[in-house]
Structures are given as C-alpha cells and as structure tokens.
Structure 1
C-alpha cells in the first residue's frame, strides 16, 4: 500500500463528491470557488475576512467582494463580535448547513463502518498519522514560500 497514492485517491474522491454536491440537480446553484469558500468558513471558528485573505493569499478587497456575494445569495451570514464591535465574523447560513448535513451523511456512514472494523487504539494511531501528515504538509508548504 502506497501512502501517497492512498491520500491522493482520498482527496480525489472528496473533490468529486464536492463537485457532485454542486451539480446534483437541486436548487443549490453554486460555483466551485464559492464551495471552497464555504468549506473554509465552515471549518474555521470565528472566521473573518482578514483570516480568509491571509489563508487564500489574496487581497482583503477580493475576499470582501466574494463574501458580499455569498451573503447576498444567503449562503453566509455576518455577525458582529460581542467582544470587539469592530470585528465581524462570517459563518455558513442555515441553508448552507442543510447542504453540509446532506453532504456529510456518506462520510458519517463510512466512519461508523470503520469504527466497527477497527478498535479505538487503531483509530487513534490512524488519526495521529493523518495529523502528522497534515502538519508536515503545512510546514513544507510554508518552507516553499
């Protein structure tokens, strides 16, 4: 078993699943670029436009344009911070959350099957390996800048 190809195949299937989600014939008319923004916002607690600009290595103005589009389309909501009134957070809307729940069903079923097949120690080792790969990948990407 080749770890690199296994990871590439996993990401390939996840990408295809996201493309399928946006083209599944429902009324959710969304571009892949918008879906990537939603993924990032969905995975980031207290997400801000500045954070998105930094992570995506694009201007704050470009992020603001995209966020305004997502807000107008009802896919994202903007909330003012209670601690600092100058800060606004963005999060996926309840409409977007409904689509994520649908999207997550297959992953949740797959995880349940894995939990039936492997014991807790094996799952912890697997998670530790994935975390290490992620950390090393991030470190290598930063070194290439």
Structure 2
C-alpha cells in the first residue's frame, strides 16, 4: 500500500475532502431541531440508529465527516484507506436514498424533487470505489 497519494488523485481528493469536511463542520453547530430532522431521516432508514439520542447522533456524524474529509485532504493517508472509508460512507448515503420513501420517482431510480440532494451522493461512491480499484490494481 502506497503511503502517498498519486499526484493525479490530489484534485479529486481535495475537492471531495473539502466538501465533506465543510459538511461535517456545518453539522457541529446544528441545533436540536436540525438534529431531530437528520436523526429522524437516518433512523427511518437504518432502524439501529433509533436508540441514539439525536444531538449525539449529529455530533457523531459531524465527527465522522470531519475525520473523512481530513483523511482525503492529507496526502499521506493512503488512497486505498481514504477510498475505502469514502466508499463505506457513500454507500450509507446511497442506501438512504434507495430506502427512504419519497426520494425516488415511483418504480424508478430517478430522483424525485425531494431526493435530488441525496441522489447526487452517488458520485462520492464512484470516487471512493475508483480510488480503491486503482490502488488494488496497481499493488
């Protein structure tokens, strides 16, 4: 496993890392109402999250996003590791999109108006999988 990311991976790692880091930092200041909304949506799709208090859930989510964003931004974090973490995180987001009622048009994978904001996260899944595949193919 390479310790430094490849130079051509840096633009995508910087773009995605900054995006996710910003999202995590934004959630740090989420109030109780925002926490209820985020937690309710996540717990509706992933029932095991129901037992976590909403403010704690958002704090944990924020921390995870900050850590993932930082891992992508720091070029000494191997792309295989950063890509695997991004793939897992994005897989959860895509699962949220696929399993939450009202996110997709009836009988289709096409997003509804409500689902556009989450459907776009499929690009994160593609980027994470691409980083992993490139590192596995080269080692």
TM-score of the pair, normalised by structure 1: 0.30
Greater relative contact order, per chain length (Cα 8 Å cut-off, separation 6+):
2
> Which one has a larger percent strand, Structure 1 or Structure 2?
1
For the pair shown, the structure with the greater C-alpha radius of gyration is: 1
TM-score of the pair, normalised by structure 2: 0.31
